[in-house]
Amino acid sequence: MCGICGCFFVNGSVPSLFILRQLQQSMAKMEYRGYDSCGAAIQGQAKGGSHTGIHLFKAVGSPSEAFWPVVEMESDRIDTELVSSVQVGMGHTRWATHGEAGVRNCHPHISSDLKEFVVVHNGQITNFAQIRAYLLSQRNWEFYSETDTEVIPKLALFFYEQTPNATFSEIVEQVCQVLDGAYALIFMSSLFPNEVVATKCGSPLIIGVQSETRVELSDCRAFRKRSGSTEYANAVRQAVNNSGSFASRFPNVEEFLLNNETSAAYEDLAEPKQIKYKPSNDITSEEPKIQYYFSSDRPALAGLTSYSLDLHDFDIAHARPNGELAISYKHPGSMADRQLKMQEFEQVLCEENLFSSKTEKEIHQQRATIESAIRGRVDFETHAVKLGGIQGHLDEICRSSRIYMIAMGTSTHAALATQTILTTLTNKSVSVMQATQFLDMDEPISKSDLCIFISQSGETADSKHALDYCNQAGALTLGITNVVGSSICQNTSCGIHVNAGVEVGVASTKAYTSQYICLVLLGIAIAQAHSITGSRVREMSIEIIDALRELPGKTEEVLNQKAKIRHLAHLIQEKQATIKESTMFNREQSNSLYILGRGFQYAVAREAALKIKEIAYMHAEGLCASELKHGPLAMVQDNFPTILFALKDRYQEHAFNAMNQLVSRGCVPFVFITEGDELELARNFKCKENVPFHIALPKSTPCLQGILAVIPMQLLSLYLAQARGCNVDQPRNLAKSVTV
What residues are labeled active site?
Answer: 2
112 SS3 class: coil
Spatial distance between the Cα atoms of 517 and 512, rounded to a whole number of angstroms = 9
Q: Which helix (H) or strand (E) holds 88?
A: strand 86-94
Spatial distance between the Cα atoms of 46 and 50, rounded to a whole number of angstroms = 8
Helices (H) and strands (E) in the chain, counts: 22, 28
Query: Residue 29, Cα to own-chain centre: how many angstroms?
Result: 14
Q: Look up residue 65 and give its DSSP letter.
A: I
Spatial distance between the Cα atoms of 549 and 379, rounded to a whole number of angstroms = 10
Spatial distance between the Cα atoms of 727 and 738, rounded to a whole number of angstroms = 19
Which residues fall within 8 angstroms of residue 440, CB to CB, at 6 or more apart? none
Burial class (CB in 10 A: 0-12, 13-18, 19+), 271: middle
Sign of the dihedral defined by the CA atoms of residues 196, 149, 40, 184, in that order: positive
Residue 359 neighbours by CB distance under 10 Å = 31
Q: Which helix (H) or strand (E) holds 680?
A: helix 678-684
Residue 477 neighbours by CB distance under 10 Å = 26
Strand residue runs (E) in 423-563: 429-434, 449-455, 476-481, 494-497
Whether the upstream peptide bond of residue 108 has omega within 30° of 0, thus cis, is yes
Spatial distance between the Cα atoms of 103 and 38, rounded to a whole number of angstroms = 9
Backbone angles phi, psi at 70, to 5 degrees: -70, -40
Sign of the dihedral defined by the CA atoms of residues 330, 333, 335, 340, in that order: negative
Asked whether the beta carbons of 526 and 395 are under 8 A apart, the reply is: no
CA 151 to each of CA 89, 121, 636, 689: distance values in angstroms, whole numbers, following the listed order? 21, 11, 52, 70
Q: Which of 529, 496, 525, 531 is nearest to 414 (CA)?
A: 496
CA 11 to each of CA 24, 83, 241, 292, 597: distance values in angstroms, whole numbers, following the listed order? 21, 10, 45, 12, 62
DSSP codes joined into one string, 507-546: S--HHHHHHHHHHHHHHHHHHHHTT---HHHHHHHHHHHH
Asked whether the beta carbons of 713 and 600 are under 8 A apart, the reply is: no
User: Between helices 410-426 and 535-559, what is the axis angle to 10°?
Assistant: 150
Q: HSE on the CB side for 176, CA within 13 Å? A: 24
Q: HSE on the CB side for 516, CA within 13 Å? A: 31
Please name the amino acid found at residue 65: E
Q: Which helix (H) or strand (E) holds 316?
A: strand 316-319
Residue 534 neighbours by CB distance under 10 Å = 11
Please, what's the largest Cα pairwise distance for the chain? Answer: 95
Query: Residue 486, Cα to own-chain centre: how many angstroms?
Result: 9
Spatial distance between the Cα atoms of 719 and 566, rounded to a whole number of angstroms = 6
